[in-house]
């Protein structure tokens, strides 16, 4: 069994300084992207074969970010054979292993840069090779490939020698950005007021409000530096400790303490007493001199680690579940599916399947690393080889647009439609909307139901539609159908996600079983990619 994702992303060039530094090992200019220097690994996960059950008491041990926890779980189950008991234990073990891996991954991925870097190294470890999006692809050999842009978006895929454009493709599309607070990249970073050093920041996507008050905020992200050879390098940094907070005014001051805070004047992080220069601090984290730093793209993030909890250890508490949950499951599913292919087997394979993790969904996807960039379409056109073949490929393609959805909040059950109250640890959720903010239509519903009912075990398909007096969110699904840079004319685009509580909050909640369920769903889709495998 391989080792799981590391509990920290720290890869150091200076052990005494304990810094996380990623550079381009090939020495290429950063504008051609990088192959990062971290190599996380994940556990092997076998599919369970559970049948009958009985009361089982199992001992587990978890070590996450230095927190060692032992617990005993008891499941009330029908009596069955020892073989069935072993199967149930294995099933529970498998859910837990994926959950442990996910927690470690999240604690190693404070920003989109770290997330994509960890995904890239996971793929490299599984035998995937990189292609360059700024170079023409000709006669691509069958195998396992990926394309990355700016360490902010990634397309990974497997293509067989027997594949032709008429056979279409199956891709899972997700996004990897998350609601956050950005450090202002221009102008003076800090100022001093009443003896406190304050940091200039701006919200990313969501309202900059009370959710950020009194949080222990660390800083992480990408720093572009001028190397000794005069080339530009990207280095990822992570303070791994709080460097500031936005303090709430005490209630003793009256109504002013409870009024909405002005995001420009009142939501300003305090980062010290002015004894530490900001530029020196960032360059020190990057392991370079201040004069070598060209520009930084940094986020403030809640340093409280992701962790498994609940009285029965049934939940995962974490930041950035939207959406480093579905994206993690999609990458893991592709890696698990890829393990069956040797050189001989890829020569006999007639499929084309993959995962697309896009950036900037939370702010409209309109960037060169967002879903509107056409990154996946570019891959299709290059692989197909001609406009006619590309059109045929897209017409036979199924895209599962996967973004988290709203689990029912029992304290606000009345704001959900009856029958549209997804729960964690139950199964994926198909999202529907009469105005097509998500792209699940009748054929999509039948496809999703068939996929879950016939090709997965231990889960059920849930459904979510927003009430008429609430606002529907969006996904990359409609964008993927765009006629300019999307997969226009796709055979099917369907929105299926995993449910979470407290979406867009600093901390959210998903189920311990949800990660494995997501992996199983996407892997089943890859396994039954052929155009006529699932009739609908």
Quote the percentage of the chain above a pLDDT of 90. 60
Q: How confident is the model at residue 488 (pLDDT cuts 50, 70, 90)?
A: confident
Cβ-Cβ contacts under 8 Å for 23 (sequence gap 6 or more): 34, 37, 227, 233, 234, 235
Kindly state the average pLDDT of the residues 315-342. 96
Secondary structure (3-state) at 201: strand
Confidence at residue 41, expressed as pLDDT on a 0 to 100 scale: 40
Pairing relationship of beta strands 270-272 and 196-199 according to DSSP bridges? antiparallel
Average pLDDT, the chain: 83
Which alpha helices (DSSP H) does 71-210 contain, by range?
82-107, 112-125
Q: Which residue has the higher pLDDT, 188 or 279?
A: 279
Q: b/e string for 438-476 if b means 16 or more Cβ within 10 A?
A: bbbeeebbebbebbbeebbeebebbbbbbeeeeebbbbb
CA–CA separation, 373 and 358 (whole Å): 9
Q: Which residue has the tokens 């959406």?
A: 323
Confidence at residue 206, expressed as pLDDT on a 0 to 100 scale: 77
Confidence at residue 253, expressed as pLDDT on a 0 to 100 scale: 92
Kindly state the average pLDDT of the residues 262-289. 93
Count the helices and strands in the chain (H runs, E runs): 11, 24
pLDDT tens-place string over residues 119-160? 999 999 999 999 987 766 777 899 999 999 999 999 999 999
Quote the percentage of the chain above a pLDDT of 70. 81
Q: How confident is the model at residue 43 (pLDDT cuts 50, 70, 90)?
A: very low
Nearest to 437, CA basis, from 375, 492, 479, 392: 479
What tokens were used for 460?
Answer: 């059920």
pLDDT tens-place string over residues 16-29? 333 333 334 333 44
Confidence at residue 28, expressed as pLDDT on a 0 to 100 scale: 40
Give the Å distances, CA to CA, from 253 to 95, 215, 262. 49, 21, 17
10 Å CB burial of residue 260 (0-12, 13-18, 19+) is exposed
What tokens were used for 485?
Answer: 């840079």
Nearest to 267, CA basis, from 252, 243, 240, 248: 248
Pairing relationship of beta strands 352-358 and 153-159 according to DSSP bridges? antiparallel
Model confidence at 114: pLDDT above 80? yes
Q: How confident is the model at residue 481 (pLDDT cuts 50, 70, 90)?
A: confident
Model confidence at 57: pLDDT above 90? no
What tokens were used for 420?
Answer: 């549209």
Model confidence at 192: pLDDT above 60? yes
Phi-psi label, residue 504: left if phi above 0, alpha if psi -120 to 50, beta otherwise: left
Model confidence at 49: pLDDT above 50? no
Kindly state the average pLDDT of the residues 221-245. 95
DSSP E strands in 37-83: the ranges are 56-64, 67-75
Backbone CA torsion sign across 301, 305, 309, 314:
positive
Question: Which of 16-25, 85-94, 98-107, 483-492 is predicted with the least confidence, judged by mean pLDDT?
Answer: 16-25
Q: Which residue has the higher pLDDT, 132 or 74?
A: 132
Confidence at residue 530, expressed as pLDDT on a 0 to 100 scale: 60
pLDDT tens-place string over residues 155-180? 999 999 999 999 999 999 999 999 99
CA–CA separation, 398 and 494 (whole Å): 8
Q: What's the Rg (C-alpha) of the chain?
A: 23
Question: Which of 68-72, 117-121, 380-384, 403-407 is predicted with the least confidence, judged by mean pLDDT?
Answer: 68-72
Domains along the chain? 84-178+319-528 (3.40.630.10), 180-303 (2.30.250.10)
Whether the full predicted model's pTM is greater than 0.85, yes or no, is: no
Is the distance from CB of 181 to CB of 363 less than 8 angstroms? no
Q: How confident is the model at residue 55 (pLDDT cuts 50, 70, 90)?
A: very low
Confidence at residue 199, expressed as pLDDT on a 0 to 100 scale: 95
Confidence at residue 327, expressed as pLDDT on a 0 to 100 scale: 97
Q: Which residue has the higher pLDDT, 149 or 12?
A: 149
Confidence at residue 338, expressed as pLDDT on a 0 to 100 scale: 97
Kindly state the average pLDDT of the residues 65-87. 41
Model confidence at 115: pLDDT above 90? yes
For residue 294, the Cα-to-chain-centroid distance in whole angstroms is: 28
Cβ-Cβ contacts under 8 Å for 259 (sequence gap 6 or more): none
Kindly state the average pLDDT of the residues 109-127. 97
Kindly state the average pLDDT of the residues 508-529. 96
Model confidence at 364: pLDDT above 60? yes
Cβ-Cβ contacts under 8 Å for 82 (sequence gap 6 or more): none
Kindly state the average pLDDT of the residues 329-333. 98
Confidence at residue 51, expressed as pLDDT on a 0 to 100 scale: 38
């Amino acid at each position: 069994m391989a080792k799981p994702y590391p509990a920290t992303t720290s890869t150091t060039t200076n052990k005494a300084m304990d810094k996380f530094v990623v550079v381009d090992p090939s020495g290429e200019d950063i504008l051609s992207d990088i192959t990062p220097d971290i190599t996380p690994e994940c556990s092997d996960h076998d599919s369970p074969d559970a049948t009958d059950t009985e009361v089982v008491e199992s001992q587990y041990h978890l070590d996450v970010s230095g927190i060692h926890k032992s617990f005993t779980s008891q499941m009330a189950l029908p009596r069955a054979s020892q073989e069935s008991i072993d199967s149930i234990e294995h099933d529970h073990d498998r859910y837990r292993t994926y959950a442990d891996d996910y927690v470690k991954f999240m604690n190693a991925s404070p920003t989109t840069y770290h997330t994509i870097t960890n995904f890239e190294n996971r793929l490299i470890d599984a035998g995937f090779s990189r292609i360059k999006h700024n170079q023409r692809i000709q006669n691509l050999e069958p195998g396992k490939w990926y394309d990355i842009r700016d360490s902010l978006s990634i397309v990974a895929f497997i293509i067989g020698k027997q594949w032709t454009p008429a056979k279409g493709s199956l891709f899972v599309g997700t996004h990897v950005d998350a609601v956050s607070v950005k450090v202002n990249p221009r102008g003076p970073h800090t100022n001093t007021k009443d003896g406190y050093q304050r940091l200039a920041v701006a919200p990313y996507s969501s309202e900059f409000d009370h959710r950020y008050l009194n949080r222990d905020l660390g800083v992480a992200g990408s720093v572009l530096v001028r190397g000794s050879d005069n080339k530009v390098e990207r280095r990822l940094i992570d303070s791994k400790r709080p460097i500031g907070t936005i303090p709430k005014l005490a209630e003793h001051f009256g109504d002013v303490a409870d009024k909405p805070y002005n995001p420009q004047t009142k939501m300003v992080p305090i980062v010290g007493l002015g004894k530490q220069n900001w530029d020196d601090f960032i360059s020190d984290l990057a392991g370079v001199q201040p004069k070598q730093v060209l520009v930084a793209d940094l986020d403030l993030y809640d340093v409280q680690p992701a962790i498994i909890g609940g009285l029965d250890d049934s939940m995962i508490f974490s930041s950035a579940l939207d959406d480093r949950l579905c994206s993690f499951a999609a990458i893991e599913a592709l890696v698990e599916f890829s393990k069956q292919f040797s050189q001989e087997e890829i020569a006999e394979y007639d499929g084309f399947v993959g995962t697309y993790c896009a950036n900037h969904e939370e702010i409209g996807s309109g960037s060169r690393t967002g879903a509107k960039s056409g990154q996946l379409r570019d891959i299709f056109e290059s692989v197909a080889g001609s406009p006619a073949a590309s059109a045929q490929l897209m017409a036979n393609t199924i895209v599962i647009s996967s973004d988290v959805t709203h689990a029912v909040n029992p304290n606000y059950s009345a704001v959900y439609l009856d029958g549209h109250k997804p729960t964690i640890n139950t199964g994926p959720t198909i999202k529907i909307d009469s105005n097509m903010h998500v792209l699940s239509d009748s054929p999509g519903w039948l496809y999703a139901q068939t996929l879950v009912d016939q090709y997965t075990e231990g889960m059920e398909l849930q459904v979510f539609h927003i009430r008429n007096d609430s606002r529907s969110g969006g996904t990359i699904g409609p964008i993927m159908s765009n006629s300019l840079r999307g997969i226009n004319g796709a055979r099917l685009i369907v929105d299926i996600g995993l449910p979470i509580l407290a979406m867009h909050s600093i901390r959210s909640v998903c189920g311990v079983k949800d990660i494995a369920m997501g992996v199983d769903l996407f892997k089943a889709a890859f396994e039954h990619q052929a155009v006529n495998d699932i009739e609908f």
